[in-house]
Amino acid sequence: MGLVGQQAHDRAVERLSASYAAIPAERRVRLAKRTSNLFRPRADSDAPGLDVAGLAGVISVDAANRTADVQGMCTYEDLCDVTLEHGLIPLVVPQLRTITLGGAVTGLGIESTSFRNGLPHESVLEMDVFTGTGEVVTATATNEHADLFATFPNSYGSLGYATRLRIELEPIGALVGLRHVRFDDIGLLGKTIEQIVETGEYDGQHVDGMDGVAFEPGEAYLTLATWLPARDGAPTSDYAGQQIYFRSIRERESDLLTPYDYLWRWDTDWFWCSGAFGAQNPYLRRVWPRRWRRSDVYHRLLGLDQRFDIADRLDRRAGRPRRERVVQDIEVPVERLGEFLAWFDEHVGMRPVWLCPLRLRGETTWPTYPLERGRTYVNAGFWGTVHVGPEADDAPRNRAIEAEVHDLGGHKSLYSEAFYDPETFDRLYDGANLAAVKGRYDPAGRFPSLYDKAVRRG
């Protein structure tokens, strides 16, 4: 969408307010949004939707001060198209193109810069939030709405929706150099992560981005990215074509990408999940349109599979046990990563696993996702299905993952299925504070509660 300007933004907020006013007071309210990066089922609902169609662009960029005013429904793809023109990017750019800025803040996002920049909400300077009272309030860390500002991250729309966010930006080089460093021992990988977090370097070279992949027990890699100046004639890799990024991690020790291709290196094949649709087959890939090699296309194909039970029908015909979908991102302290992966291999048995180190950026803590200051965590992402048999509907693997992560002092993201009882949920996500803030900004309960959204599928 590009730059939209302040006047267009003001008109869009007016339409949003009008759509809210048209909804009867006794009805719960949702976004009228066609796309989603959530992976948890939702109960069928005829709840009216808020009109957010005009809130999907960049309002302005202040390149000198390295800030941008961005509408809440703006995708990171559209946001980065604008900021890259100035040689700038948001401090954290989640992996998938169609994740929105508002979604990453209210639902948490993460990527390779999170070991030094934390999570996306930590680079928000102020935000306008449309609340359950029908008002738009401007929240900062220090004004009269500081409680909303602090509690908004990980609230998933239960407190309101961000219409505008002012965020910090940072420079990125003209090129991105990658090193893929192999580790046979997860303990050593964890110690290396801690060293890089503390020093910002590895083997004497500056590190701007860090993530990794655990392909098999005894075979894991850290990919270390460094922003680089332009080099005349330097060849760069293209993983939106016939080559596949995640395979390159095993095949080469170093690589060179454009900033654009680095930001979306995981999106083209939805990490490695595009293989389920045949998109990694070299013959099919040649005729698969390049514009359709992207995560939102695969997400729609997954929706069709679920709607028509295609995979389940094939499993029944082949006599295979029923599948449980295991799509989760969890965070555990870095020193517990080896324990988690060993448990995961024994009880779930799904590889590869994406690894992304993170640490809170500053001294602020965020009550609805309470990570400890000064402590390094590793996000482990795993997305697929496991044959479990007739108990698939009870989600035994997902429930076991929840319990293990809790025992290891970690948390799980709430974009996918969750099964916590209310008491455990409140302990993990500071339910008392969340209820107090909701009581102030949505006293009539126009938006579903976080527990309703994440667990009850409301």
- Residue where the block lists tokens 């095949």: 251
Confidence (pTM) = 0.93
Annotate the chain with three-state secondary structure.
CCECHHHHHHHHHHHHHHHHHCCCCCCCCEECCCCCCCECCCCCCCCCEECCCCCCCEEEEECCCCEEEEECCCEHHHHHHHHHHHCEEECCCCCCCCCEHHHHHHHCCCCCCHHHHCCHHHHEEEEEEEECCCCEEEECCCCCCHHHHHHCCCCCCCCEEEEEEEEEEEECCCEEEEEEEEECCHHHHHHHHHHHHHHCEECCEECCEEEEEEEECCEEEEEEEEEECCCCCCCCCCCCCCCCHHHHHHHCCEEEECHHHHHCCCCCCCCCHHHHHCCCCHHHHHHCCHHHCCHHHHHHHHHHHHHHCHHHHHHHHHCCCCEEEEEEEEEEEHHHHHHHHHHHHHHCCCCCEEEEEECCCCCCCCCCCCCCCCCCEEEEEEEEEEECCHHHHHCHHHHHHHHHHHHCCCEECCCECCCCCHHHHHHHHCHHHHHHHHHHHCCCCCCCCHHHHHCCCC
Return the closest-CA partner of residue 349 out of 341, 358, 360.
Answer: 341
* Residue 321 pLDDT: 75
Q: Using alpha carbons only, what angle is made at residue 27 by residues 25 and 33, rounded to the nearest 5 degrees?
A: 115
Ordered by start, the domain boundaries in the chain are: 5-172+438-454, 175-266, 309-419
Return the closest-CA partner of residue 73 out of 59, 52, 51, 95.
Answer: 52
* Residue 363 pLDDT: 84
* Residue 37 pLDDT: 55
| The CATH classification of domain 5-172+438-454, taken from the options 3.90.1300.10, 3.30.465.10, 3.30.70.20, 3.40.50.300 | 3.30.465.10
Residues 60/64/67/70 CA torsion (nearest 10 deg) = 10
Report how far Cα 54 is from the mean position of its chain's Cα atoms. 23
Return the closest-CA partner of residue 388 out of 312, 317, 278, 299.
Answer: 312
Give pLDDT tens digits along the chain (458 positions): 679 899 999 999 999 999 999 998 888 887 766 555 555 555 545 556 888 889 999 999 999 999 999 999 999 999 999 999 999 999 999 999 999 999 999 999 999 999 999 999 999 999 999 999 999 999 999 999 999 999 999 999 999 999 999 999 999 999 999 999 999 999 999 999 999 999 999 999 999 999 999 999 999 999 999 999 998 888 999 999 999 999 999 999 999 999 999 999 999 999 999 998 889 999 999 999 999 998 889 888 877 666 656 666 665 777 787 888 899 999 999 999 999 999 999 999 999 999 999 999 988 889 999 899 999 999 999 988 888 888 988 999 999 999 999 999 999 999 888 999 999 999 999 999 999 999 999 999 999 999 998 998 75
Q: Using alpha carbons only, what angle is made at residue 376 by residues 371 and 379, rounded to the nearest 5 degrees?
A: 80
* Residue 308 pLDDT: 58
Distance CA 283, CA 443 (A): 57
Contact (CB, 8 A) for 122 and 154: no
* Residue 421 pLDDT: 92
Instruction: Name the token pair of 101.
Output: 């800025």
Overall fold of domain 309-419: Alpha-Beta Plaits (3.30.70)
* Residue 80 pLDDT: 98
Beta carbons within 8 Å of 97's beta carbon, 6+ residues apart: 75, 76, 77, 264, 267, 294, 295, 296
- Evaluated on CA atoms 364, 367, 369, 370, the torsion sign reads positive
* Residue 46 pLDDT: 58
